[in-house]
Amino acid sequence: MASPLTGLGASIQRRSTTEQAAEAVREAILSGRLLPGMPLREAAVAAELGVSRSTVREAARTLAGEGLVRYQMNRGIVVADITGADAADIYAARAAVELAAADALTGHRDPAVYADLADLVEQIERAFGRGDVAAVLDGDRRFHATLVAAAGSPRLRRFYEQLQQEQRLALALAERSSRELGRTADDHRQLLDALRGSPEQARAQLSEHLRAGAAELQRLVDLIAHRKEGETSRG
């Protein structure tokens, strides 16, 4: 009788190939090489990556779960678009999660969390000073993920990772130009100071920080739409 473990090795190999394919497409999307709304033809992607079309479909399912691609009628797999409504919804969800995390942090006052946040503020400010927009955005993501982790809820943390992935899709196209980011200063140090203060101070500063972020993301969404219109007219 065959062992119940027969075939597991092959499954691991297939899964590894799928993960590699998903990572390759993910990097192309987040680097801005694959634009929102761009179709991903299975045959072309499979040929480029040297994998089967079934592997591409499996990878696409992974990326769809991350909000990076979508399936559209008569078009198949396309890079996901983020609309103005999506941007507002992302920040509404972020506010719900991050305000709960801020309440938790100002309640337990974990010195290790504050130390991690302070290190990230330093990294963000150094990156901002040298005009490294990609590093600024990476530091921003890590700062807020660290804040959410302070709530101590694995479910909130997983949910927040999804939100950050969706936000990265819109921000990716702006990583090559600090002017497109629309920032003249960074306010994470102010936010950290507020998180060290009273719960009321923390909530007020975090709410303002997120309102500014929502407005920034809306500008980037508008910029992406303008670029796509320009490419359509040139085509």
User: Tell me: the pLDDT tens digits for 97-114?
Assistant: 999 999 999 999 999 999
The total of other beta-carbon atoms located within 10 Å of residue 119's CB is: 14
Residue 196 one-letter amino acid: R
Average pLDDT score over residue span 63-71: 88
Encoded tokens for 92: 């509404």
Q: Is the pLDDT of residue 175 over 80?
A: no
- Most confident option among 96-110, 131-145, 181-195: 96-110
Higher-scoring residue by pLDDT: 115, 66: 115
**192/114 Cα distance (integer angstroms):** 8
Q: Which residues contact 80 (CB under 8 A, 6 or more apart)?
A: 36, 67, 68, 69, 70, 166, 169
Domain with CATH 1.10.10.10 in the chain: 8-79
To which residue do tokens 């990294």 refer? 123
- Confidence grade of residue 178 (pLDDT, cut at 50, 70, 90): very low
Q: Which CATH number fits domain 8-79: 3.30.70.260, 1.10.10.10, 1.10.1660.10, 2.30.30.90?
A: 1.10.10.10
For 166, residues 6+ apart whose C-beta sits below 8 A from its C-beta are 66, 67, 80, 82, 86, 90
Average pLDDT over residues 152-170: 87
How much is the pLDDT for 82? Answer: 80
The larger pLDDT score, comparing residue 139 to residue 2, is at 139
Instruction: Return the CATH number of the domain spanning residue range 84-234.
Output: 1.20.120.530
Which segments of the chain belong to CATH 1.20.120.530? 84-234
